[in-house]
Every structure is written in C-alpha cells, then in structure tokens.
Structure 1
C-alpha cells in the first residue's frame, strides 16, 4: 500500500465520485479506477459500491478512510520536517505498525523535528513482523513494533497499552465499566491471529486459562477491517487497545480487561551500527514523553 494510493482513495471517498476525484487529482478516470481496484486487491475487500450518483463507501471503506487520514496527516508532517531541515538533510526510513496511538506519534514526530532537523523522515505503514525483516535487510532504519525485537537490534520498550474489548452495543458486557477476563467465558471474541502478536496472544490465552474462562475465540488476520471480520465471525466482542477500538469500532463501547490485565507493548529498534542521524532520531523517539494510555 502506497501513500499515493491512500491519497487517491481519500479523494474518491470525499467526492463520492471517481470522475470528480479524477478531475481533482488531475489524472484520468481509468487510471484512478485501476488504482482503486489495485488497492482493493491488496486489502482483500471492496471499498466502494457503485450507486446512480457515483460511488458509496462500504463499511471497510469507511474504516480505511479514518486510518488513511491519520497516515496522510503523519506523512504531511514528515514533509514539514523535511522542509524545515533546509537544503541539506538525510533520509531516515521509519516503520509504523497498526495500533500506535496517534496522539503519541504526533508528539514524537514533533520532538524529532525539533531535536533532529536534518532528518528527512519516510514513513512505512507495515506490520511488526515485516518491519523486523526490513530493518534486518537494511530497508528500514528504525522500527516501531509490537513484537519483542531480537537481541541483535538496539531496542527500547516505549510503552504498553492495556487491552480491552470493543463490545456490541446491545451485549450485556456493554453495561460494565470494565471487563474481567472471567466475564468473557462463552462470549464469541474476535482476536488477532497469533502470527500478528504472538507474545500477547499467548499471554491472553494463559490469562483466560488462569481464571477458568473459555471464550469462543475467533482468530483472524486483520488491521483495518475489524467490523467486517467481527460480522463474518459472528463475534460479540473484539480484542483491541482503546485508541484502535475508537478508530475501527467507534459505535462499540470499549471495556478494559481486568483481573488480570493484558497489555500490548510497543518497542523502538534499530541496527546497532548505523548513521548518526538514525541514532539521533531513535533517541528522540525513546525520550518522547508518554502520556497515560488507556
């Protein structure tokens, strides 16, 4: 998925018409149509339905639009960093996984802009496992990941976000102020597949066994299409952090898991031997203030 594709998608979403969006973007309508279809194939779901007046976003399209706006705003902020750096600068490729709180990330990027003005940031919206592969291959300079980085990388734990469940509004769990793990017994719960967050997956399973709770798990690989996956799986709750739940399932109340709590950690990592500007950006991210999350 490229930033250009997200900009094209956002234009179609806002115009509700491929022809009007093509005029706005100064590209041909067939070229824009091909890009939207390519994006749908990459994501694996339809983003728009055709209607007499143009197009109408699907539920997946509406979910992606919120995420796309956040990514595009961050990309624009990176451009500000590049412009304020002056004529001489160094490119630093930074990986971002789903689920990083946008408010923290904006503050962290502001800190990088102030502390390391010569850094020209390039942002890659990539899952944690793929990020670790890319940083080892030298294609990313710094990664933010939810997986424990290997000891061969210089890394630092930035923060942990508490997990909770986004609950269907009409489900009894929605009436609670929090959700004890025991209360998930018998509930159909959608959670990320193990390969996405293996450590947290195992901790969650252990936590439910510890209290004798047996949810009806529905495991799936998803990033932006939580609502669609929940509908297909017949899930009454979706395991997410609060910022992600508010973005993907704004109409489903989020309830923090307690007794015991389960959290999602975020690390920053880089190669031990690297350019000075990369080390400086890494240090700025490490030192970025972390407000209470969740």
Structure 2
C-alpha cells in the first residue's frame, strides 16, 4: 500500500465520482480505476460501491477512510516537522505494540505526541505481550502496550479493555444472532489466538468451556493479518476476535459479542521504574489519550 493510493482513495471518496476525481488528480479514469483496484487488492475488501450516479464508501472503505486521512495528515506534516527539528535534539522513545490495538487510536496517539511532545521521536515495534516484557527488561523498549498484567517491578497503567466476540462464517446458523454464549459453541471449530500471542486467552477459554459443560473445538494459532487464511486452513466455523479486528480482517463475517461469559481483553501501558524523563512524558501523553471507540473505561492501576 502506497501513500499515492491513499491520496487517490480519499479524493474519490471526497468527489463521490471516479471521473471527477480523475479530473482533479490529472489522471485518466481507467488509470485511476486501476489504482483503486490495486488498493482494494492490498486491503482485501471492496472500498467503493459503484453506481451509475457515482461512488459511495463500503463499510470497509469507511473504516479505511478515517485512517487514510490521519496517515496523509502525518505525511504532509513530515517536511515541516523535519525542518522545525533542525538544530533541536529529539530523544527516541521505543514503544511496543501488540496485535489487537485499534489502528485509529494508535494513529491518534502518534499525532498527539507529535504535536505536544516535539522533543520526543517515537518508534514502534510490533510484538506479543511476552516479547515486549522481555524487551523492556533487556532495555530494548522504553514503553509497552501489553495484554497481560505486568510484573511488580514495572509501572502498570490499565488503559482500556475490549470485549471478545465471534466473527461467524457467513451462512452458519449462529450468523443470524445478535450475541452468543459459551453454550452455543459446543462442537464448533473456533480459531483463537494462542498462548504465545495472548498468554491468558487459551487458559480462560478452556476453563469457561468446562464450566459451561461444552467442548468447543479450539484451534489455537498465532495470527495477525491473515485471519481469513488461518480460518480456511482449519475450516473454522468462527474466529474469536474483537469487533474492530473483525471489521478489518473479516469484514463480510458477522461479528457477535460473547455475552456469557463476558470475555474482555485488557490493555496495560507499562514502563520501567527507573527511566528517562522523556519516557515519562510520553507515558503521560498515552494515558491522556481518549480511549478507543467501543472500549470500556480503565480502572487505574499503578503508575506515575
């Protein structure tokens, strides 16, 4: 995916017409159509509904549109930021990010930090919670966003939690419901994140199934971007995901909240007890960010 594709996409969305967008971009309409099709292949979902009267965003297109505008805003601001940073020292702060954190919230965090903390240069590393905690101990990360409670020798701040639910294969009887219970999953093949990726999930799932007197056929795996391929490989009836991940990875699979029992995935912010002042500044900036849409409020833990 390239920035020019996102510029073409947002222009078509703004104009509501491929022909008007092509004229504004000084492209031929066939050339613009090819660029949009390439972006749709990269995303893995149709972005526009095409009608004789023009174009409108699909649900997947609407989800991408917000992120694309933020990315383009950051890209457009990059030269000015580079020029303004000349002669000014910026301290690098390394932040770990696990799968499952909403892209939109993360982009909002970066935009806020760029504006409010010009002395901090943030880098991101995608890693599981276990890997992040090890990297913090080794001094390779300054801050971590993790899905397991950090040990006592680290500061821990509870940021937010998201309820898990099931993205259900289209046509399956469960797909017509509005919610599901653990009892509904007996003998169904359910793809879920394994211990390496989200350490607490598989144990809690197995215990919850046992308590409900059912035996779901759990298929634990480590996956991030390729949920559809993993689901097809194991012939899954459903995939255990949060709503925002389901919309991004499986937009045509209905998502149902897991109502009984409720099953939240908590995100903590963690950092060493002894650290640089700029790391504490960035931690405060992350903690001050509004929680993502659909997340439950955080019960504050420890931290400074």
**TM-score normalised according to structure 1 size:** 0.72
State the distance in 2 between where 1:63 and 1:268 align. Answer: 31
Secondary structure in structure 1 of the residue aligned to 2:200: helix
Residues 122 and 85 of structure 1, relative CA distance in 2, 3 Å threshold: farther
Counterpart of 2:236 in structure 1 is: 235
Structure with the greater alpha carbon radius of gyration: 2
- Give the distance between the partners of 1:165 and 1:248, measured in 2 at CA: 12
CA distance in 2, matches of 1:107, 1:159: 15
Is contact 1:84-1:117 (8 Å) kept?
A: no
Question: 1:201 maps to what in 2?
Answer: 202
Query: Partners of 2:261 and 2:157 in 1: how far apart?
Result: 25
Shift of 1:111: 2.9
Q: Which residue of 2 aligns with 1:182?
A: 183
Cα-to-partner distance string for 1:114-136 (whole Å, 9 max, x where unaligned): 43221111122222222222121
The separation in 2 between residues aligned to 1:224 and 1:288, in whole angstroms, is 25
Counterpart CA distance in 2 for 1:244 and 1:85 is: 36
1:71-124: CA deviation from partner (whole Å, max 9, x where unpaired): 9x7698497495486332211111111110123223322332343221111122
State how far apart, in whole Å, the 2-side matches of 1:174 and 1:252 are: 8
Query: Relative to 1, partners in 2 of residues 1:90 and 1:124: Cα closer, same or farther, differing over 3 Å?
Result: same
Alignment TM-score, normalising by the size of structure 2? 0.70
- 8 Å CA contact 1:60–1:225 kept in 2: the answer is no
- Matching residue of 1:267: 268
Equivalent pairs, count: 243
The verdict on how the C-alpha distance between 1:155 and 1:181 changes in structure 2, with shifts beyond 3 A counting, is: same
Aligned 1:38-49 pairs, distance under 5 A = none
Change (3 A) 1:240 1:84: farther
Match of 1:7? none
Unaligned regions of 5+ residues in structure 2, if any?
Answer: 6-36, 46-59, 296-304
Q: Which residue does the alignment assign to 1:216?
A: 217
Map 1:29-108 → 2, pairs under 5 A: 62=43, 77=74, 80=78, 83=82, 86-87=85-86, 88=88, 89-108=90-109
How far residue 238 of structure 1 moved from its aligned partner, in angstroms, is: 0.3
Aligned in 2, Cα 1:83/1:201: closer, same or farther, shift over 3 Å?
farther
RMSD, matched Cα: 3.3
Between the aligned partners of 1:85 and 1:253, the Cα distance in structure 2 is 47
